[in-house]
Amino acid sequence: MAELNIKRHRRLRYNPILRNMIRETNLTKNDLIYPLFVVEGENIKNPIKSMPGVFQMSIDTLVEECKEITNLGIPAIILFGIPAHKDEVGSGAYAADGIIQRAVRAIKKEVKNLFVITDVCLCEYTSHGHCGVLNGEDILNDETVQLLAKEAVSHAEAGADMIAPSDMMDGRVYAIRKALDYKGFQKIPIMSYAAKYASGYYGPFRDAAESTPAFGDRRSHQMDIGNANEALKEVETDIQEGADIVMVKPAGAYLDIIYRVKNKFGLPTAAYQVSGEYSMIKAAAMNDWIDGERVMIESLTAIKRAGADMILTYFAKEVAAFIDKHQ
């Protein structure tokens, strides 16, 4: 009888020092992009009820927050704007003195060494809360794309370092790339929300951004939750149209998509751990049902292990503090 040869995998797990040495996936601060919500007014820091630890901030407060973020070693933020006035065509989105445009100018003037990404969509700016201009209840694709290109250019003119279209209209990356180049912004990269699903996990964000659609939903442009091949098609199209970084969103429930996108295209790949993912962990932790810090790190490590090169997460500040504490 052949001698039984036990494989002793546990040998590498007894010593915590060795465990750390052989860990294949480690979070670093360079993985982090912190989403922020900016509103009109002064000295405002409104807590978002469904997202403990997240706030709507006026520009002055936001600038101070950005200094703190930079001091923590977080390299990048992504900005979402909530305008005072909304209309049918979302004109606040591409106004030279819009909320995002002024916020970016203020940050660029007062904060050094922070990479500023702007989210490009219309839903925060339209009175009906849809991601584009409407004909009845239909979103008009090509008309919307023209406005998104205008929005992107106005963000670049304000000093944005990277443009992130989140609308899921067809042809928007092409239109944005063309418009940016035409205006002399060849150096500004595009991070496209390439595979963005019609997800129930966005609920808390819509409170934060005040962008819940007045009727209907986003299923005519965001992807169906059951589809994976379609995600690869969407990503491929965005790359052909000029995307420099492609994003999968949400993250935790779509690790297979992150893995496939990274494997197939090898491009820098971002993943968005969205509001609902954050809120669920926070809520369970606040009830003492889970160890919040531990699950935070576990969820983000899993997203990175799946293939994400960078993660948009509301935990960014807590992760940076965690990294400082444990190094």
Regarding 93 and contact with ligand PBG (CB under 6 A), the answer is no
Under DSSP, the state recorded for 168 is -
Enumerate residues 214-243 that contact ligand PBG by CB under 6 A: 218
Site size with ligand PBG, rule: CB under 6 A: 12
Beta bridge partners of 81: 38
Exactly one of 76, 131, 247, 248 binds Zn ion (CB under 5 A); that residue is 131
State the binding partner of 313 from ligand PBG, Zn ion, none, CB within 5 to 8 A by kind: none
Stretch near Zn ion under the rule CB under 5 A, chosen from 60-68, 128-136, 183-191, 292-300: 128-136
Exactly one of 56, 154, 166, 269 binds ligand PBG (CB under 6 A); that residue is 166
Q: How far apart are CA 121 and CA 179, in angstroms?
A: 16
- Could you give the residue numbers annotated as active site? 196, 249
Cis peptide bond N-terminal to 250, omega within 30: yes
State the DSSP H helix or E strand holding residue 178, giving kind and residue range, or none if neither. Answer: helix 172-182
Best CA proximity match to 77, nearest among 38, 116, 109: 116
To ligand PBG, the closest distance from the beta carbon of 170 in angstroms equals: 15
Q: 3-class DSSP state for residue 123?
A: coil
Regarding 194 and contact with ligand PBG (CB under 6 A), the answer is no
Exactly one of 56, 58, 275, 279 binds ligand PBG (CB under 6 A); that residue is 275
Enumerate residues 102-121 that contact Zn ion by CB under 5 A: 121
Q: Which two tokens stand for residue 4?
A: 């039984």
Regarding 316 and contact with ligand PBG (CB under 6 A), the answer is no
Q: How far apart are CA 220 and CA 203, in angstroms?
A: 18
The DSSP result for 96-128, as a single string, is TTSHHHHHHHHHHHH--S-EEEEEE-STTTBTT
Nearer to ligand PBG, 8 or 194 (CB): 194
Q: How are beta strands 55-58 and 45-47 bridged, if at all?
A: antiparallel
Q: 3-class DSSP state for residue 167?
A: coil
To Zn ion, the closest distance from the beta carbon of 120 in angstroms equals: 9
CA 321 to chain centre: 20
308 phi and psi angles, rounded to 5 deg? -70, 135
Nearer to Zn ion, 111 or 121 (CB): 121
Regarding 144 and contact with ligand PBG (CB under 6 A), the answer is no
Report the 10 Å Cβ neighbour count for 227.
14
Regarding 299 and contact with ligand PBG (CB under 6 A), the answer is no
Nearer to ligand PBG, 122 or 326 (CB): 122
Residues interacting with Zn ion, by CB under 5 A?
121, 123, 131
Residues interacting with ligand PBG, by CB under 6 A?
119, 121, 123, 131, 166-167, 202, 205-206, 218, 274-275
